[in-house]
Amino acid sequence: MAADATGETPEPGTRGDCEPAGLVCASCGTVTGVRNGIPRFATLADEGQTQVQGTFAYKWKRTPEWGITGATAEIMTGWVMATLGWKDEAAYAAALKPARLILDAGCGNGRETIRLARLNPEALVIGLDISEAVDEAARNAAGLPNIGFVQADLCAAPLARGVFDQILSFGVLHHTPDTRRAFLALVPLLSRQGEFTFYVYRKKAPLREFSDDYLRSAIRAMTPADAWDEMTRLTLFGKALADLKAEIEVPAIPTLGIMAGRHDVQRLLYYTVIKCYWRDGWSLEENTHINFDWFYPQYAWRHTSEEVRSWIREAGLSERSASESPAALTFRVGR
Ligand SMILES: C[S@@+](CC[C@H](N)C(=O)[O-])C[C@H]1O[C@@H](n2cnc3c(N)ncnc32)[C@H](O)[C@@H]1O
């Protein structure tokens, strides 16, 4: 492969006899752009994926250090460790220790890519994302020697097969046109001993499913900035409910997915009627980030654990760990 000389980004997939301004694939001859030292293979699969790409480019440019610095970082570290099933970062580091090549598929602003590189300094960690979030990720990771980024579609990742000892795809597969296909596309990249950890959205209660789809399709026509404003109002709605600090005792209503017992009013509505995220201690902008992330991407599929387990079987992999929260399903699988 020849390194970029000009910093220009040629049309992906063009060929020619001239000196290419980018990288040339040794097997197929495809010329790919390199900008800011990051190879760019992004292919626009369809209109929905293009919208997703734009959504996340906007979000990560607007809140580039979300989850990496300040109040969001502290909460995210605890939450991510619990979600992945590790007691703390030391336990995660021990599990990562044998890995030499790690992929963070859909790395966003690089929060988890950086964690992986920090916890296993012996490994080379690649962060891949379809959007220009890779620029924010590279900025956030500046100074870490064992990290690199690539802008590409994980469904056609321009990476060697059979070489990654760990693959993480955290909150990404459901943002592609087809979650199952995206999962199956990453499996061949795993090394023989490799492990693949992924987090996908879980199917919610019926009214919540309805309002998710309704609001998502309603704000899709808006510009990202207008959608962010609408999400700011939704966030303030969540805050108003949370500020009530009220609990109510309710009977089970199985058809609506409501469980019997005492519930905080905001959390009950959040899980069963309308997502309106609010967390005390985060700024309005940091909270809005969560609601925008949920509602603005055109693709945000939700799944059941049965569905995900059928994909794991289809891939010929076995389950190493699984966790279910009201919001998501997280699996660690291997051969
Ligand atoms: C909700 S963010 C999660 C980012 C990161 N994994 C995290 O935990 O913060 C989803 C990311 O997936 C990326 N993404 C969506 N579809 C993708 C695809 N087909 N290939 C690669 N990345 C994709 C988006 O650009 C976005 O940065």
Closest CA to 182 of 106, 256, 285: 106
Q: Calculate how far, in angstroms, residue 188's C-alpha sits from the geometric centre of ligand 1.
A: 19
Please, how many CA atoms are within 13 Å of residue 268, restricted to the half-sphere of its CB? 20
Q: Ligand 1 centre from 313 Cα, in Å?
A: 24
Q: In this structure, what token pair is assigned to residue 19?
A: 């000196």
Burial of 249 (0-12, 13-18, 19+ CB in 10 A): exposed
CATH topology of domain 20-202+303-334: Rossmann fold (3.40.50)
- In terms of Cα–Cα distance, which of 112, 216, 96 is closest to 165? 96
Which of helix, strand or coil describes residue 241? helix
CA of 302 to the centre of ligand 1 (A): 15
Strands (DSSP E) contained in 136-260 are: 147-151, 164-170, 190-201, 247-250
Q: Which residues line ligand 1 (CB under 6 A)?
A: 52-53, 56, 106-108, 111-112, 128-131, 133, 153-155, 170-172, 175-176, 293
Tell me if 170 sits within 8 A of 112, measured CB to CB: yes
- The terminus-to-terminus CA distance of the chain in angstroms comes to 32
Please name the amino acid found at residue 273: V
Locate the DSSP E strands across the chain. Answer: 23-24, 31-35, 38-40, 101-105, 124-129, 147-151, 164-170, 190-201, 247-250, 261-264, 318-324, 328-334
Q: Which of 148, 190, 141 is nearest to 166 (CA)?
A: 190
How many helices (DSSP H) and strands (DSSP E) are in the chain? 11, 12
Q: What pLDDT tens digit does each residue of the chain (335 aa) get?
A: 333 333 333 343 333 343 345 666 666 666 679 999 999 986 767 899 999 999 999 999 999 999 999 999 999 999 999 999 999 999 999 999 999 999 999 999 999 999 999 999 999 999 999 999 999 999 999 999 999 999 999 999 999 999 999 999 999 999 999 999 999 999 999 999 999 999 999 999 999 999 999 999 999 989 999 999 999 999 999 999 999 999 999 999 999 999 999 999 999 999 999 999 999 999 999 999 999 999 999 999 999 999 999 999 999 999 999 999 999 999 999 99
Residue 1's alpha-carbon distances to 10, 29, 38, 248, in angstroms, are 15, 9, 14, 63
Instruction: Specify the pLDDT at position 32.
Output: 76
Q: Could you tell me where in the chain the CATH 3.40.50.150 domains are found?
A: 20-202+303-334
Burial label, 10 (beta-carbon count in 10 A; 0-12, 13-18, 19+): middle
Cβ count near 304 (within 10 Å): 12
* pLDDT for 110: 98
Residue 88 confidence (pLDDT)? 97
CA 104 to ligand 1 center in whole angstroms: 10
**Residue with CA at minimum distance from ligand 1 atom 15:** 175
Q: Are 136 and 64 in contact (CB under 8 A)?
A: yes
Q: How many residues does the chain have?
A: 335
Q: Angle at Cα 45 formed by Cα 43 and Cα 49, nearest 5°? A: 105
> Considering only CA atoms, which residue is closest to atom 9 of ligand 1?
108
Q: How far apart are the CA of 311 and the centre of ligand 1, in A?
A: 20
Closest C-alpha residue for ligand 1 atom 17: 130
* Atom 18 of ligand 1, nearest CA residue: 153
Q: So what's the pLDDT on residue 55?
A: 95
pTM: 0.90
Say how far apart CA 177 and CA 312 lie, in whole Å: 19
